[in-house]
């Protein structure tokens, strides 16, 4: 498949690990932040933590002349790696799975999104830092997920870009496109490094990214 249109934001050499490893997995995240993919990249590039993903998919940045909804930003080549899962060995021990560094064999994709939001008494919605989220940008789930029924919506453009990028990466690295319903909770398949597409929830019970957005799931099922 042809490469999607990608904006390059090359990280400094100290911001990721320039080591090549066979890629077996894709992990979908969301940033729990604002809509700008460039701002997210700039924040990651400002320290030496080596915490980042190869790709960031921006949201609807109001009044921006440099970014548009669904833009894909690449921070470093997907054949390299950085820390994006935050996994501790205890997770593997609890699930009776041998420890391995999944960061090395996986590709991370961040979607710019605030994540869970809370409905206020006056009908407005606030994110976890008490910022207002417009009602038209809120997804209401049929069933609460990890204690929250309302989430900041992934835009149609973000979902389309996620599809395009995931298809490209799956073809490039021979990663399975099969959708599995267990990816929104801890799954041994992910901890064992099984080939496939996952979410951060697949290996971290304290995370909510990505949440089970019906439109995102519908897209993943059609890959």
**Which residues in the chain show pLDDT less than 50?**
none
pLDDT for the residue numbered 66: 86
Instruction: Give me the sheet containing 196-199, strands edge to edge.
Output: 7-8, 72-74, 55-57, 106-111, 25-30, 196-199
Cα–Cα distance measured from residue 110 to residue 49, given in angstroms and rounded to the nearest whole number: 17
Phi and psi, residue 156, nearest 5°: -60, -40
Give the pLDDT confidence of 117-175 residue by residue, as tens digits. 999 999 999 999 999 999 999 999 999 999 999 999 999 999 999 999 999 999 999 99
Work out whether strand 55-57 and strand 116-119 pair parallel, antiparallel, or are unpaired.
unpaired
Contact 81, 91 (CB under 8 A): no
pLDDT for the residue numbered 63: 73
Q: What would the CATH number be for the domain defined by 7-11+23-113+154-221?
A: 3.40.80.10
Look at residues 177, 165, 155 and name the one whose alpha carbon lies nearest to residue 6. 165
Instruction: Give me the sheet containing 148-152, strands edge to edge.
Output: 132-133, 125-126, 116-119, 148-152, 138-145
Q: Before 173, cis peptide (omega within 30)?
A: no
pLDDT for the residue numbered 65: 72
pLDDT for the residue numbered 47: 87
Span(s) in the chain for CATH 3.40.80.10: 7-11+23-113+154-221
Helix, coil or strand: residue 191: helix
Between the two ends of the chain, the Cα-to-Cα distance in Å is: 13
Query: Cβ neighbours of residue 122 under 8 Å, at least 6 residues apart?
Result: none
Contact 208, 116 (CB under 8 A): yes
């Amino acid at each position: 498949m042809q490469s999607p249109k990608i904006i390059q934001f090359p990280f400094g050499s100290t911001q990721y690990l320039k080591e090549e490893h066979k890629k077996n997995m894709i992990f979908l995240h969301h940033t729990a932040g604002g809509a700008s993919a460039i701002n997210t990249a700039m924040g990651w590039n400002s320290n030496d933590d080596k915490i980042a993903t190869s790709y960031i998919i921006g949201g609807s940045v109001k009044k921006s002349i440099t970014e548009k909804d669904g833009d894909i930003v690449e921070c470093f080549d997907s054949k390299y790696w950085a820390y994006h899962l935050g996994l501790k060995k205890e997770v593997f021990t609890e699930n009776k799975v041998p420890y391995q560094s999944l960061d090395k064999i996986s590709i991370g994709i961040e979607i710019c999104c605030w994540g869970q939001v809370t409905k206020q008494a006056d009908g407005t919605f606030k994110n976890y830092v008490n910022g207002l989220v417009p009602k038209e940008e809120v997804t209401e789930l049929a069933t609460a997920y990890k204690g929250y029924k309302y989430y900041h919506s992934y835009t149609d453009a973000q979902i389309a870009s996620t599809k395009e990028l995931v298809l490209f990466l799956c073809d490039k690295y021979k990663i399975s496109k099969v959708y599995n319903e267990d990816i929104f909770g801890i799954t041994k398949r992910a901890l064992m490094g099984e080939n496939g597409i996952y979410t951060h929830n697949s290996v971290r019970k304290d995370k909510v990214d990505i949440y089970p957005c019906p439109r995102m799931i519908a897209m993943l099922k059609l890959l």
